[in-house]
């Protein structure tokens, strides 16, 4: 553990009183972080740090707080392991909770929003079961890459805030062992899961469910106007449905496969988080799975909307003491319509145009599946629609774009109004698309693992940053 400095740099972002702590002891267990034999800073997200006033920390202070887990000034005095249950591959599991992480701090962003700093790999908790509470360095590297890529593609996601190598050798059954260790800190709007509500419902903590709904509304649904009583509960549920539909539509437009869409891996804020065996599609394939253990294809690319809908139904089942089943069912019936609306929005945004329809999206994905064109390529070549026609005709895949099968899609792209076509002036569009395929990820890790060479990792993050600035796909759609 790092030595304590006499006067660590005081962050400018604090949060007092402590909102999650104020919920009460039914929601968490106070825990202690692990002590690590070594701490090497591998990644710090200075953009995210600036949003919560922590960008002024020196690297030494950064390690002091985000590996030593010394409390931030005027913030949570002790880490909190959050309690939750969950359906894991649709089997209900009561024997889970924060097993290798905790809520470390709650900060107020510069625009007044409450944000959480949570950990992954910070040591054992009462929910670790037979695990060691640790995170492999490869797992940490993968999460940084996934979150940066998704953010650049306009998907609402938690941010990888910090990655510190911790000098241990871990044994794992799903990768060569022993393997290097790390601790990750993520920044997100909340760490409240569908499984948090399931835990409370299982133990018949119905008043606590109302308290948690009020907490969510106050701290990250403040843009809505809510009534009281059952209408308030339905309003909350509708908001979660909308946010979840936006999230999964964003994944579909990004060609992203989460891999393990259990209810304990879904955040009520609609942020993507809990990254495990994720993959990006090399080409459109509805049956593509990310997890080798997903033998039934339950969480395949094309089944992700279904999985999210099923999980939303489980969340609704925890609210039946506070709203009628009829009203909850009516709210849930909005999900397919909302998902289609969000698919139109997300695919339009990825193409940099207005007004693409659900029919267009369906035709596009069928064409992409049939032609096996690289998934990211078509969005890159046709960004801003008609404004990229000449670019598309110079593409290595121009023959596909000139074929009769593409003609209906081309006509709709040409007819759609470009949004901010000046974005095409960015030099990014003169090169090649930025991708995050499994071979690239493995090549990045191999250099780190074999030679402690982080240059490919750093270069990929720079490539993603260039893409993020070029596409400029900022902010989630939550209505």
Residue among 239, 264, 285, 294 flagged as catalytic:
264
CB 308 within 8 A of CB 266: yes
| Pairwise CA distance, residues 134 & 268, whole Å | 25
Non-local CB neighbours of 460 within 8 Å, separated by 6+ positions: 145, 436, 440, 444
| Residue 202 to residues 220, 237, 318, 358, 472, Cα–Cα distance (Å) | 25, 18, 8, 38, 43
Helix axis angle for 304-317 and 325-332, nearest 10°, is: 160
- Residue 409 makes CB contacts below 8 A (sequence gap 6+) with 360, 363, 364, 367
The three-state DSSP-derived secondary structure of 303-357 is HHHHHHHHHHHHHHHCCCCCCCHHHHHHHHCHHHHHHHHHHHHHHHHHHCECCCC
Task: Tell me: is residue 366 an annotated ligand-binding position.
Answer: no
Contacts of 1 (CB under 8 A, 6+ apart): 35, 36, 39, 67, 68
Say whether 90 counts as a known binding-site residue. Answer: no
Q: Does 309 count as an annotated binding residue?
A: no
| 251 Cβ neighbours under 8 A, 6+ residues apart | 155, 257, 258, 272, 304
User: What is the DSSP pairing of strand 135-136 with strand 28-30?
Assistant: unpaired
327 a known binding residue?
A: no
SS3 of residue 207 by DSSP:
helix
264 classed as catalytic: yes
Tell whether residue 97 is among the known ligand binding residues.
yes
CB 168 within 8 A of CB 181: yes
83 labeled binding residue = no
Here the tokens at position 424 are 């095409």
Backbone phi and psi for residue 330, each to the nearest 5 degrees, phi listed first: -65, -40
Q: 399 is written with which tokens?
A: 């023959």
Q: Is residue 270 annotated as involved in ligand binding?
A: no
15 is annotated as contributing to ligand binding: no
Token pair 């999230």 is at which residue? 247
Annotated binding site for ATP: 97, 99-100, 120, 132-133, 186, 193, 274
Q: Which residues are catalytic?
A: 264
Annotated binding site: 97, 99-100, 120, 132-133, 186, 193, 265, 274
């Amino acid at each position: 553990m790092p030595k304590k400095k006499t006067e660590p740099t005081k962050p400018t972002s604090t949060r007092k009183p402590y909102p999650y702590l104020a919920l009460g002891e039914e929601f968490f267990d106070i825990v202690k972080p692990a002590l690590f034999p070594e701490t090497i800073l591998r990644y710090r997200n200075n953009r995210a740090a600036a949003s919560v006033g922590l960008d002024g920390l020196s690297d030494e202070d950064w390690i002091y707080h985000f590996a030593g887990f010394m409390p931030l000034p005027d913030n949570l005095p002790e880490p909190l392991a959050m309690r939750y249950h969950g359906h894991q591959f649709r089997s209900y599991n009561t024997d889970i909770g924060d097993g290798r992480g905790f809520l470390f701090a709650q900060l107020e962003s510069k625009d007044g929003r409450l944000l959480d700093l949570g950990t992954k790999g910070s040591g054992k908790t009462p929910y670790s079961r037979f695990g060691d509470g640790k995170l492999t360095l490869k797992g940490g590297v993968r999460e940084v890459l996934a979150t940066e890529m998704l953010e650049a593609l306009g998907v609402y996601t938690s941010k990888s805030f910090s990655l510190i190598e911790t000098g241990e050798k871990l044994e794992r059954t799903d990768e060569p062992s022993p393997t290097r260790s790390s601790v990750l800190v993520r920044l997100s709007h909340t760490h409240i899961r569908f499984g948090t509500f399931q835990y409370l419902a299982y133990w018949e903590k119905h008043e606590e469910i109302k308290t948690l709904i009020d907490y969510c509304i106050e701290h990250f649904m403040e843009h809505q106007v809510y009534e009281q009583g059952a209408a308030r509960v339905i309003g909350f549920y509708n908001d979660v449905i909308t946010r979840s539909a936006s999230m999964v539509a964003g994944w579909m437009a990004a060609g992203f496969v989460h891999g393990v869409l259990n209810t304990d891996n879904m955040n009520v804020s609609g942020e993507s988080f809990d990254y495990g065996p994720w993959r990006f599609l090399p080409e459109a394939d509805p049956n593509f799975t990310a997890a080798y253990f997903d033998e039934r294809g339950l969480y395949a690319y094309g089944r992700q909307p279904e999985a999210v809908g099923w999980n939303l139904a489980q969340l609704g089942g925890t609210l039946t003491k506070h709203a009628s089943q009829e009203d909850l069912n009516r709210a849930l019936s909005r999900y397919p319509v909302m998902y289609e609306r969000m698919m139109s929005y997300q695919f339009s945004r990825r193409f940099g145009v207005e007004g693409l329809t659900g029919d267009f999206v369906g035709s596009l994905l069928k064409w992409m599946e049939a032609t096996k064109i690289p998934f990211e390529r078509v969005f890159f070549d046709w960004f801003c629609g008609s404004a990229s026609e000449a670019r598309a005709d110079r593409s290595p895949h121009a023959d596909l774009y000139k074929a009769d099968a593409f003609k209906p899609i081309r006509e709709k792209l040409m007819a759609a109004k470009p949004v901010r076509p000046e974005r095409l002036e960015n030099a990014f569009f003169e090169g090649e698309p930025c991708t995050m395929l499994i071979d690239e990820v493995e090549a990045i890790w191999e250099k780190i693992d074999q030679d402690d060479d982080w240059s490919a990792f750093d270069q990929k993050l720079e490539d993603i940053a260039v893409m993020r600035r070029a596409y400029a796909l900022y902010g989630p759609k939550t209505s």
